[in-house]
Amino acid sequence: MLVHLSVHNYAIVEHLDLELNGGMSVITGETGAGKSIMLDALGLCLGDRADSGVVRPGADKADILASFDLSDIPEARAWLAERDLGQTQDQDGPCILRRVITAEGRSRGYINGSPCPQGDLKALGELLIDIHNQHEHQSLLKPETHRRLLDEYAGSQELARQVQLAAQRWRQTRQELERLSSAGDEQRARHQLLSYQLEELDNLALGDTELMQLEQEHKALANAESLLSACRLVLEQCSENDAGNVLSALTSSLQRLSSLNSSQGALGEAVNLLASAQIQVEEAVGELNRFLDHFDADPARQQLLEERLDTIYTLARKHRIQPSELATLQQQLFEELESLNADDQATERLSEELCAYARHYQEKAHELSTLRQSAAGQLASSVELEMQRLGMPGGRFNIQLYGTNAADPHPQGLEHVEFLVSANPGQPLKALAKVASGGELSRISLAIQVITAQTSRVPTLVFDEVDVGIGGPTAEVVGQLLRRLGSRGQVLTVTHLPQVAAQGHQHLFVHKARGSDATRTAVANLDGPARVEEIARMLGGVDLTEESLAHARQMVSTAANA
């Protein structure tokens, strides 16, 4: 529960420290004194949005701190443990939420001294406090509020979340399946084309170095005639021409120089070079003869090479690439075909998942429907009883569940939920928005809030002037209802009704303290005569009389002895 609230420089509050107890705490005070300001400041600690306008004029920042005892809130302790935000070094100590807003509009949040985003404050705050305000009854006109309240009362929030998640997964799976199916005709045509193209490339069976070897051999065969002619001419010039050839000229030259019997100087060098040239020419002649002896200018082989190269070049032109790029293309087409095959497998898998999600949804949704149907009658009876106690004798309340008529899984389950009410005897049940006046709606809202709060797992409930428009004997009933809620946890109630204020276990009085140059809000914890005087003021105005004091004393005594 909330054990301490500290507010500094927030709105008209300069400094405020509140120690809060269990049970029902009532907060009263004059209009404009700042009763709701404390709850607004508390809301900031719980993750509400803020702006720079909340900072007290003249101050550089507003600082709000709220301390909670989590000994009876295991969900909150587990939430903190998951995020390593333990309750300080003393594990039995309070959980401290803090919010700082600067005059420039910057905001910072802290949980147990650790900085945290606003969303974390809000998530933790939902486990600690449930705030009901005087405008909340407007949300009762919305069907989603009806469903939420029924699920909270039935304790089926987690099951409702599972139903919503199952419907969401089903819808996402169907969308993906539709995406694959919509591209089915196009993909089948592409699959057929790829299969044909790959078959052509597979039949070609082009080796890694085959193209280069084919081109080299073909080039040699294509130049065979000119090559043979050139080789024969060189042979003739070097050795076979009887009229004169290179070898015979070299031999004759060597004989003439050798006959001179001189191996000195340049002449000897010339003889050596001519001898070397003779040897080189003889070796060249030998290589040419060997080439001619082994050369096979096979026309059939040349035709075969030309046909093979033509097949390769034609296929490359068909794909508008270079012949050397055919192997890379083959790999790309293979990978794309594998991807299309994977899509076919994905379609089959998604179809199976879609059926599984549909079965899971139906299972959870029917389980949720059973809980809703069981709780609807109990909640309706309890609210109807409280309506009659709150000044609506003969009023009736009913919760209608009707099918969604949706062929696909609906995120909210198999049925819509609608609250129906008859405010006066003899009137038929109609939708809440069509039959309730402002005052009636306030009382119906209070009845619903009181009943649903009894099943809430949140230990601290805050009611901010929910009794607006209620008076007389009904106001006393409201006070008794809130006191009854306080007996199971902690209830904070801002009220202007003495009948409600008299029911509190603790009474906080908010007033304005005026100084020489400023006005600030202060809070006093009333007890004994001071509390009686405040309730008497609420009964009879500024001037206290013995009658109003006696009446107030009687109200406090009756509530204490009840």
Q: For residue 305, is it within any domain?
A: yes
- Give the count of domains, the chain: 1
496/350: higher pLDDT: 496
Taking residue 445's Cβ as centre, other Cβ atoms within 10 Å add up to 21
In sequence order, the 6+-apart residues with CB closer than 8 A to the CB of 193 are: none
Share of the chain above pLDDT 70, in %: 91
User: What's the pLDDT at 90?
Assistant: 45
Answer yes or no: is 302 within a domain: yes
Residue 257, pLDDT above cutoff 80: yes
Instruction: Give the model confidence (pLDDT) of 147-193 as tens digits.
Output: 988 998 998 989 999 999 999 999 998 888 777 666 556 666 776 77
pLDDT at position 499 over 80 = yes
Q: Tell me, yes or no, whether 388 lies in a domain.
A: no
What pLDDT, in 10s, does the model give residues 14-32? 888 888 999 999 999 877 7
Taking Cα atoms as reference points, which of 485, 365, 468, 464 lies closest to residue 416? 365
Q: Indicate whether 91 pLDDT > 60.
A: no
Q: Which amino acid, residue 499?
A: Q
pTM, whole model, 2 decimals?
Answer: 0.62
Least confident piece of the model among 234-238, 406-410, 438-442, 507-511 = 438-442
Structure tokens given for 251:
């031999």
Distance, CA of 365 to CA of 359 (rounded, Å)? 10
312 within some domain:
yes
Structure tokens belonging to residue 61: 């920042």
Q: Taking a C-beta distance cutoff of 8 angstroms, is the pair 156, 371 a contact?
A: yes
226 assigned to some structural domain: yes
* Residues 446, 463: Cα–Cα separation, whole Å: 9
Q: Classify residue 44: in a domain, yes or no.
A: no
Residue 264 falls within a domain, yes or no? yes
Q: State mean pLDDT over 430-453.
A: 76
The pLDDT of residue 88 is 44
pLDDT (mean) for 456-468: 78
For residue 500, the model assigns a pLDDT of 92
Q: Is residue 494 part of a domain?
A: no
Distance in angstroms (rounded) separating the CA atoms of residues 190 and 180: 14
Res 346: pLDDT? 66
User: Chain-wide mean pLDDT for the chain?
Assistant: 84
pLDDT of residue 164: 93
Domain range holding 193? Answer: 188-339
